[in-house]
A and B are shown apart, each in its own frame.
Chain A
Amino acid sequence: MFNLVIGQYVPLDSYVHKLDPRSKLVSVFLFVVIVFLANNWITNALMVLFCLTGILLSRMPFSFIYKGLRSVFIIVLLTFLLNLFLASGGTVLFSWGWLHITSNGLFQSIFISIRILVIIVVTTLLTLTTSPIEITDGMESLLNPLKRIKLPVHEFALMMSISLRFIPTLLEESEKIIKAQAARGSDFTSGSLKSRIKAIVPLLVPLFVGAFKRAEDLAMAMEARGYHGDTGRTKLHQLRWGWRDTLLIAAVAVLALLLIFARN
């Protein structure tokens, strides 16, 4: 259950944790875009360097980052192999039957793997250092201009933070129900496909009933505490843009410029 590191916040005390979520969101977004500018050794090295600096500043143990990467390892490996054998051009390094590995193919597959890895690393770093509440707060604030065209930004943000908040609760709940139904002889792990699908009903019905009940309770509790939607609502944790946030955006901008100049 705890294997899922993407989306798991680790509260530590670091510069990256203390950044305004808005600056982190914007820079991660920009980074993911400019990653596609890199197409040679220098530019790729620059991106890796940027990621490493981020990890070091966040004080996040490398093992946590590694756990996040492990889940996408297969995808990276697959893309690597596909590019390795399918890309053509340059000198042939190795050939066996109809399989050829060319120098271009090798470089390209390495670059693409790096590209996927750095994207995963920065997004993992974002979720590891920013709590879900902060992320939704930041999103809400960034999307605020859209309220002018009558988009319910606040409601979307609230829906998002509530669903994020209840993922662990639902996981816990389903574990309990699985145990209870297993004690009544239901079998989730063996038998034909049909019998397995049938075995899910006794899990899903109680899970949904519980979720609806919880939603009602939550709505009541929110109203009892005076929630009345967006207008006139103040925040306990105000977002504050500091000089470090400006620095981060500037760093990403400089990285973009460097990439533009150093690429082939």
Chain B
Amino acid sequence: MDISFEHVTHVYSPKTPFEKRALDDVSIHIPSGSFTSIIGHTGSGKSTLVQHINGILKPSNGTISIGDFVIKANEKKQNLKALREKVGFVFQYPEHQLFEETIIKDVCFGPMNFGVSDSEATKRAEESLKLVGLPSSFWHRSPFDLSGGQMRRVAIAGVLAIRPQAIILDEPTAGLDPRGREEILSLFKDLHKNLNMTIIMVTHNMSDAANYSDQVIVMDGGKPLMADTPQNVFAQAERLRKVGLDIPESMEFLKMLTEKTGERRTITAFTLDETADAIIDILNGGKEHV
């Protein structure tokens, strides 16, 4: 399911004093099976952008195609429900959407809405709860008795149980401790790898964007500024800084090190291991290390 935006503009509250142009002539492409991160300063249009992908917002102008679905501006009758079955959406603080008496019922809510039978929905719910790592002893308890991190995992299971082909994450790790963050992100990394799921993640964390994605889209003032591999995007520290963004800590460190040692190459490394290798490489003056 390739996703592409062609000249998409979105205006909030048009023709009122509160009018705001959140997306301005955006054309981007997200290939099927990719892990794409969308970064940008607050108010740069990241959330507005992703909300177009499953038809929650409609474009004021332009065309969006998601696989076989085409969403055009000013077109009323559209089969959004079928689209939403294909594209899952995990909102910011998704634990706020829980409402059922038991966890398992809440996870079944999504699939049942899309006309899946009771037994099939339960099967899917159990599967998804296993995927997010919630022990079965919890399944018949109320979701409101859980801790924040557990609630978030239940909410994510609720979206996974729909079995979408693509999934959108709007700051999935906001407010979680480092361990919870690691767990959630590796869950999506596995889904991406094993099920070839397309993942689109809005994030404020540059290291997460660098570590997990194979495409990074930088938004600024409602327009895409860059769309490239993390290596190429984070090599342009100055351009990112201009739009209020940082580079991952590892890159920051390597940049300072190369400046001190007079190294001319631009070295990109995001994980701990890569960074360590890069440091040894620099300290050896580019020679093979033993």
A: residues with CB less than 8 A from B are 2, 173, 176-177, 179-187, 201-202, 205-206, 209-210
With a CB–CB cut-off of 8 A, which chain B residues contact A209?
99, 144
Q: When the two chains form the complex, which single residue of A180, A185, A187, A201 contacts B97, counting CB atoms closer than 8 Å?
A: A180
Instruction: Contact check, B99 vs A185: say whether CB atoms are below 8 A apart.
Output: no
- With A184-B109, A185-B110, A185-B113 already in contact, the answer to whether A201 and B99 are too (CB < 8 A) is yes
Q: How far is the CB of A107 from chain B (nearest CB, A)?
A: 38
With a CB–CB cut-off of 8 A, which chain A residues contact B13?
2
Q: When the two chains form the complex, which single residue of B18, B84, B98 contacts A183, counting CB atoms closer than 8 Å?
A: B84
**Does B248 touch A at the CB level, under 8 Å?**
no
With a CB–CB cut-off of 8 A, which chain B residues contact A181?
97
Instruction: Contact check, B84 vs A185: say whether CB atoms are below 8 A apart.
Output: yes
Instruction: Contact check, A183 vs B89: say whether CB atoms are below 8 A apart.
Output: yes
**Does B96 touch A at the CB level, under 8 Å?**
yes
Q: How far is the CB of B3 from chain A (nearest CB, A)?
A: 16
**Does B222 touch A at the CB level, under 8 Å?**
no
**Does B114 touch A at the CB level, under 8 Å?**
yes
Bound: A137/B158 CA distance, A:
46
- With A179-B51, A185-B85 already in contact, the answer to whether A2 and B18 are too (CB < 8 A) is yes
- With A2-B13, A185-B113, A185-B114 already in contact, the answer to whether A179 and B56 are too (CB < 8 A) is yes
Instruction: Contact check, B56 vs A182: say whether CB atoms are below 8 A apart.
Output: yes
With a CB–CB cut-off of 8 A, which chain A residues contact B158?
184
**Contacts A180-B97, A183-B89, A187-B81 known; 7 new A-B pairs at CB < 8 A:** A179-B56, A180-B89, A184-B97, A184-B162, A201-B99, A206-B97, A206-B99
Bound: A205/B144 CA distance, A:
11
Instruction: Contact check, A183 vs B85: say whether CB atoms are below 8 A apart.
Output: no
Convert B84-123 into 0s and 1s, putting 1 for each residue whose CB lies closer than 8 angstroms to a CB of A.
1100110100101111000000000110011000000000
- With A185-B81, A185-B114, A206-B99 already in contact, the answer to whether A180 and B109 are too (CB < 8 A) is no
With a CB–CB cut-off of 8 A, which chain A residues contact B99?
201-202, 205-206, 209
The 6 closest A-B pairs by CB, nearest first: A185-B113, A205-B99, A183-B89, A184-B110, A180-B97, A180-B91
With a CB–CB cut-off of 8 A, which chain B residues contact A206?
96-99
Q: How far is the CB of B64 from chain A (nearest CB, A)?
A: 16
With a CB–CB cut-off of 8 A, which chain A residues contact B159?
183-184
Query: What are some 9 contacts across the A-B interface (CB < 8 A)?
Result: A173-B96, A180-B94, A182-B56, A183-B91, A184-B113, A184-B158, A184-B159, A206-B96, A209-B144
- Among A173, A182, A201, residue most surrounded by chain B Cβ atoms (within 10 Å): A182
- With A2-B18, A177-B97, A201-B99 already in contact, the answer to whether A183 and B88 are too (CB < 8 A) is yes
With a CB–CB cut-off of 8 A, which chain A residues contact B109?
184, 186, 202
**Does B54 touch A at the CB level, under 8 Å?**
yes
B18 nearest CB neighbor, chain A only:
A2
A204 nearest CB neighbor, chain B only:
B99
With a CB–CB cut-off of 8 A, which chain B residues contact A176?
91, 96
Bound: A176/B92 CA distance, A:
9
- Among A177, A182, A183, A202, residue most surrounded by chain B Cβ atoms (within 10 Å): A183
**Does B16 touch A at the CB level, under 8 Å?**
yes
Instruction: Contact check, B56 vs A183: say whether CB atoms are below 8 A apart.
Output: yes
Q: How far is the CB of B110 from chain A (nearest CB, A)?
A: 4
Q: How far is the CB of A173 from chain B (nearest CB, A)?
A: 8
Q: How far is the CB of A215 from chain B (nearest CB, A)?
A: 15
Bound: A205/B97 CA distance, A:
9
Bound: A184/B81 CA distance, A:
9
With a CB–CB cut-off of 8 A, which chain B residues contact A210?
96
With a CB–CB cut-off of 8 A, which chain A residues contact B97?
177, 180-181, 184, 202, 206
With a CB–CB cut-off of 8 A, which chain B residues contact A187?
81, 113
Bound: A141/B18 CA distance, A:
35
Q: How far is the CB of A146 from chain B (nearest CB, A)?
A: 40
B106 nearest CB neighbor, chain A only:
A202
Convert B134-174 into 0s and 1s, putting 1 for each residue whose CB lies closer than 8 angstroms to a CB of A.
00000000001000000000000011001000000000000
Bound: A209/B13 CA distance, A:
29
Bound: A256/B113 CA distance, A:
62
Q: How far is the CB of B168 from chain A (nearest CB, A)?
A: 9
Bound: A49/B14 CA distance, A:
34
Bound: A71/B144 CA distance, A:
40
Instruction: Contact check, A180 vs B81: say whether CB atoms are below 8 A apart.
Output: no
Q: How far is the CB of B197 from chain A (nearest CB, A)?
A: 16
Instruction: Contact check, A179 vs B85: say whether CB atoms are below 8 A apart.
Output: no
Bound: A185/B55 CA distance, A:
12
Bound: A185/B89 CA distance, A:
11
Bound: A187/B109 CA distance, A:
12
B88 nearest CB neighbor, chain A only:
A183
Bound: A205/B98 CA distance, A:
8
- Among B18, B84, B158, residue most surrounded by chain A Cβ atoms (within 10 Å): B84
Bound: A206/B144 CA distance, A:
10
Q: How far is the CB of A200 from chain B (nearest CB, A)?
A: 11
